[in-house]
Structure 1
Amino acid sequence: MVNSPREVIGSVLKYRGTSYNSNYIDSQVAGGKIAVQQNLALLANQVRLFDSTHYLKAFAIGDVWVAVGWISDVLPAVKHMSNVAVVVPKSGASLWADLWAIPAASRLETKQIGGRVRGAFPLIHQWIEFCLQTARALPFKQEVIPSASPSALESTLVKLPEELFKGKPSLDTNLIAGVPPTEILARCEFLEPLFEATLSDYEWLVTNLQKSTPVLINKMQHYMSSLIFS
């Protein structure tokens, strides 16, 4: 399983029927932090390795039966494996997105007459519209890019010609154009920033888990420290 507190603790929160973005664990989760900590310990007993770099290698050589990871890692890896299925759980999963931002226009301070206004390039909107065209989503649908086009979250999925997949091994998955079915997608969540108090709860959970499961020791602790002090 990936070595990420948001994913590890988040999976327990989803298991207990709450959100990845729960900021009040003691009041939003039945049994509070103690119950979450107990479930974390049960989960850790089933995990061979918490590592975000080599976790798929352990899966590829048959050292583990199930790997929990990010789609951008998983899809390229499973193309070289047989008898493998990629499944988004019915309870939902975490979502994230790469974003393009257009800076707000601002006037540069200058003593010269007619100081120029700094803003977005005039053709930026045409560029974004071009990139969001249906045809531009083809690399995502063919898994050339291991993720999903943002248009797939809102638009009707288009069935691709069968010729595109002739001679290619089919992947057993519940993903459709990189996106889980509608009923599962509704339970997925974009990860949001957590309160400082919640990050302290995460650190407490990780520290207590380390006492019974030393495999988590270094990287998770370093990750939590970087979240709290950044």
Structure 2
Amino acid sequence: MKLLRNFVSLALLLVAILFLARHQMEAGSANDAANVINFYNWGDYIDPALIDEFESETGYRVIYETFDSNEAMMTKVQQGGTNYDVIVPSEYMVEAMKENDLLLPLDHSKLPNLAQIDPQFLDLAYDPQNQYSVPYFWGTLGIIYNTSMIEEGSIRDWADLWNPAYQGKILMIDGAREMIGIGLQSLGYSLNDIDSSHIRAAADKMKTLMPNVVGLITDEIKMHIAEGEVPLAVTFSGEAATAMDQNEDLAYVVPEKGSNLWLDTFAIPKIADNVEGAYALINFLISKEASIANAEYVGYATPNMEAKAALPKEITDDKAFYPDQAIMDKLEVYRNLGQAKLIEYNDRFLEVKIEPKS
């Protein structure tokens, strides 16, 4: 009988030990989850040292993943395989994700560094009062050209691309909104035009440019233009800055009659597990110090007023990358035009791409 009592006591002790161990593991797992921030960003779009600095200062651990398109990012968020805490959608994608109820409304009291953001990048039509997003970087779509091959100052607007002297010499960005947008703006229409006759006219206009186009690519543009393989290309300002760092003969111009003003933003998806951590990371990355480091590392323009004032004058005085107000007033932000119009833009762009070159 005594042996039985001892056995029962031992069994109860073992159960208690296992229960406590399981409880501690679950508590530890919960603590780990609360300590982790899943950050989903574009590739090579942050100074890596900032992640280390943030982790050291806060005790959070950042798991960093990258995407290569807004659409891929949105699909991943919709699928919910990973509960991302911070994402970096472009302006039109903020609008689309908001309409699909994928984003959390932001508590601005948890983002005190928002006060450092230039008001001209806040309260825009894609996200009134910045209810769902905070600006991260901004820039333009423009023309980069080699001044050793093309007279400096001779490229000023989209219309210059149609010069017969550039036959087979232009690299264009491989994007429907960008290409059809150039056609629309060259005809005096809005980048966000939804009139089907205007969209078709823009596509027809771009077809006439194709004899001058040697290729439609994206990420490789900066490499080819920097190496002098082509005399001019259409690309984004940050890509142009990278190329210009490698080749002093390059110049970048924002078309004087108008172009695209893009913004990439921080947002918190509804699937986020660590909302408090998300606020901490976003507020850190929009601070003056982080914005300076990022602007110098990535090459795009910062919306942080204090950071801009602290950057070297040779950067902020360059009107190609920090355009004056006269140019800024002519820039347009892409809007979410809806699925039907997106398909229409893509269809017209496909027609442009397959247009035989004469």
Contact 2:261-2:332 at 8 Å conserved across structures = yes
Q: 1:139 aligns with which of 288, 293, 297?
A: 293
Q: CA deviation at 1:189?
A: 2.8
1:150 aligns with 2:303: yes
Q: Which residue of 2 aligns with 1:184?
A: 327
User: Which structure carries more helix by proportion?
Assistant: 2
Partner AA of 1:201 in structure 2? E
Amino acid paired to 1:120: V
Question: Does the C-alpha gap of structure 1 residues 126 and 61 become closer, same or farther in structure 2, counting only changes over 3 Å?
Answer: closer
Choose between structure 1 and 2: higher strand proportion: 2
User: How far apart, in 2, do the equivalents of 1:171 and 1:53 lie?
Assistant: 25
- The normalised TM-score by structure 2 is 0.44
Distance 2:275 2:294 in 1: 28
Shift of 1:48: 1.5
User: Which of residues 202, 226, 233 is equivalent to 1:60?
Assistant: 226
Deviations along 1:165-189, whole A, 9 cap, x unmatched?
7xxxx899424xx432222223323
- The size of the alignment, in residue pairs, is 185
**Equivalent in 194, 197, 215 of residue 49 of structure 1:** 215
Looking at structure 2, the residues matched to 80 and 98 of structure 1 have their Cα atoms a distance apart, in angstroms, of 28
Aligned AA for 2:297?
Answer: V
Aligned residue for 2:98? Answer: none
- TM-score in terms of structure 1 length: 0.64
2:226–2:250 CA contact under 8 A, matched in 1 = no
The structure-2 alpha-carbon separation of the partners of 1:139 and 1:86, relative to structure 1 and needing over 3 Å to count, comes to farther
Give the aligned residue type for 2:184: L
The aligned residue for residue 17 of structure 1 is 188
Aligned-pair CA distance for 1:9: 0.8
Tell me which amino acid in the other structure corresponds to 2:266. L
Distance in 1 of aligned mates of 2:312 and 2:177:
38
Measure, in 2, the Cα distance between the counterparts of 1:104 and 1:135: 29
Match of 1:111 in 2: none
Q: What is the CA distance between 1:210 and its match in structure 2?
A: 4.1
Q: SS at 2:234's partner residue?
A: coil
Aligned to 1:174: 319
Specify every segment of 5 or more residues in structure 2 that has no aligned partner in the other structure, as ranges: 1-171
Are residue 99 (structure 1) and residue 266 (structure 2) matched? yes
Q: Look up the match of 1:6.
A: 177
1:120 maps to what in 2?
A: 275
SS of residue matched to 1:144? helix
Secondary structure of the structure 2 residue equivalent to 1:20: coil
Per-residue deviation, 1:156 = 9.7
Identity of aligned residues (%): 21
SS at match of 2:213: coil
Deviations along 1:108-128, whole A, 9 cap, x unmatched? Answer: xxxxxxxxxx8732x765654
**Contact 1:20–1:94 (CA under 8 A) maintained in structure 2:** no
Contact map agreement 2:292 2:307 (CA 8 A) in 1: no
Contact 1:71-1:147 within 8 A present in 2 as well:
yes
List per-residue Cα deviations over 1:5-51 (Å, max 9, x = no partner).
1111111112122222222232xx3xx61x22321112222222111
Unaligned runs of 5+ in 1: 106-117, 215-230
d(CA) in 2 for partners of 1:211, 1:125 = 46
Render the CA deviation track for 1:121-166: whole Å, top value 9, x for unaligned.
2x7656544433333332255x3222122324xx79526467xx7x
CA contact (8 A) 2:259 2:332 kept: yes
